[in-house]
Structure 1
């Protein structure tokens, strides 16, 4: 073989290796399995862990999705067990995803000290504020988006309205929100409340859950959330943030489900059954519903032209 031909062979081999390496780099980002089932992954075995796709502190936001997404769980949950669907779904879409467990009772024995959402909502909002600052510092992002479930909607919005979050939160997506509180009657949320509690001294009522009474309609916390706050605008929303409320008619914990249906120029209200009668999601199943999470994707990226799917979704587990 001539020297010239040998050089060509070597260069060809190098080109092949470089091409293979470039291809490997382009597809290096993992594609996580997305289980549309809250219980397909056993978070009980790792109560202090994180859902797949979340809390990668080396994640760099992409130009397509420059705002990291912060996930806020609900009562009695944590950063793992409500996000086994949402976290890998968003990570696969190219979002940097982060989640914390807030409102834990450190006096409880393990593994119950991994249960979140038990503290006073305003105290939990301080934890959220600190976590968002950490996310922004790690990623270099100016703003974040929030996807919140149940109690997380109130805790997150208190952060937005009273702890400076309106300056750094772009989109606020709520699953099963309870802007007017829960435990009421009436199809439109305007009936007689079953239980009113004006006092926020929760420890005398529910010792293990200091924040629980704050989600009741007559609580001082909700009255403050509906007041002007730092924005000076009455109502649950901050005017600089875009809200999307995703609800189910079969919600058994937010009563009535329309508690989360509050009209405003910067809010979109979605009842999943209005677009898909096959979705029988209850409160929990919203977190693992292809329908509800399809709305989440669209709320985070309004330029996403994909249609929200309509499939059969079971209560409790999702689908």
Structure 2
């Protein structure tokens, strides 16, 4: 087997394992639930929760599967919740977040505008998993998003890229591997630590004024490595490590975004800090 094939096979396997979710019978091409659920464009934000929440999926995911648990969790708490598909590649159904991340940020820009117009709100809050927690920062920094977003909550976001436990550091040693990744799935190349995209994104500081940032990470993340690379530096940043809230929480990269109600409780706190309550192991039943 050629050297680059030996490299790309485990690279793809790690990313797929970390970000893919089980595809249900309903495909992402169908609208997410709206009757009393999310993506309900008749929903009007309440006085208690005056901003709509936009959910931004991760790599190899989509607007439905990534949010089957968190979206209802927030809807049940009185939020107007919306999710989008982005980063689609031609001929690749169901799994998205694969296209160039700067272009995906443009899709997010258009979607936020749509949600704000429908709800009559001045600003939205964003919650994203993995790439979906990092990509919005491009929108905030370069596409005018800071004027339209109150808060960004990143769940296991690859804010400074990932070494994939050191695997990505091998790329330069295999001629043609980086070009192949860029051609086939540009988002993967953009997420490698030290990429041109991340260099631009993080130049001049991690944050922009006027936006409240929260990062929720797990020390057991096997994809965005090292896990501390997820954390942001800035004047309005709250970096949260799940195990500091509940040492028994063993969630890794997938579970923290799909199933972890301790993480979800921290999301709720970030969206409504004035009414935040302590997050503990008991939050799994809250």
Distance 2:260 2:194 in 1: 31
Pairing 1:194–2:196 present: no
Tell me if the contact between 2:59 and 2:97 (Cα under 8 Å) persists in the aligned partners: yes
What's the counterpart of residue 248 of structure 1? 218
Structure 2: 5+ residue runs without aligned partners?
Answer: 1-19
Distance 1:54 1:278 in 2: 31
Pairing 1:59–2:20 present: no
Q: CA deviation at 1:254?
A: 0.3
What does 1:159-308 correspond to in 2, within 5 Å? 159-183=139-163, 194-195=169-170, 204-227=180-203, 234-287=204-257, 288-308=259-279
Bigger helix share: 2
* Count of matched residue pairs: 258
Name segments (4+ residues, structure 1) moved above 6 Å.
none
Tell me if the contact between 1:290 and 1:309 (Cα under 8 Å) persists in the aligned partners: no
Q: TM-score if structure 2 supplies the norm length?
A: 0.83
Tell me if the contact between 2:134 and 2:154 (Cα under 8 Å) persists in the aligned partners: no
Larger radius of gyration: 1
Pairing 1:90–2:66 present: no
What's the counterpart of residue 113 of structure 2? 133
Distance 1:216 1:235 in 2: 19
Tell me if the contact between 1:173 and 1:243 (Cα under 8 Å) persists in the aligned partners: yes
Structure 1: 5+ residue runs without aligned partners?
Answer: 1-37, 187-191, 228-233, 314-319
What's the counterpart of residue 58 of structure 2? 74
Distance 2:133 2:276 in 1: 26
Tell me if the contact between 1:75 and 1:151 (Cα under 8 Å) persists in the aligned partners: yes
What's the counterpart of residue 28 of structure 2? 47
Are the structure 2 counterparts of residues 259 and 140 from structure 1 closer, same or farther at C-alpha, using a change threshold of 3 Å?
A: same
Q: TM-score if structure 1 supplies the norm length?
A: 0.75
Tell me if the contact between 2:60 and 2:98 (Cα under 8 Å) persists in the aligned partners: yes
CA RMSD of superposed structures (Å) = 2.5
Tell me if the contact between 2:168 and 2:192 (Cα under 8 Å) persists in the aligned partners: no
Q: CA deviation at 1:193?
A: 7.2
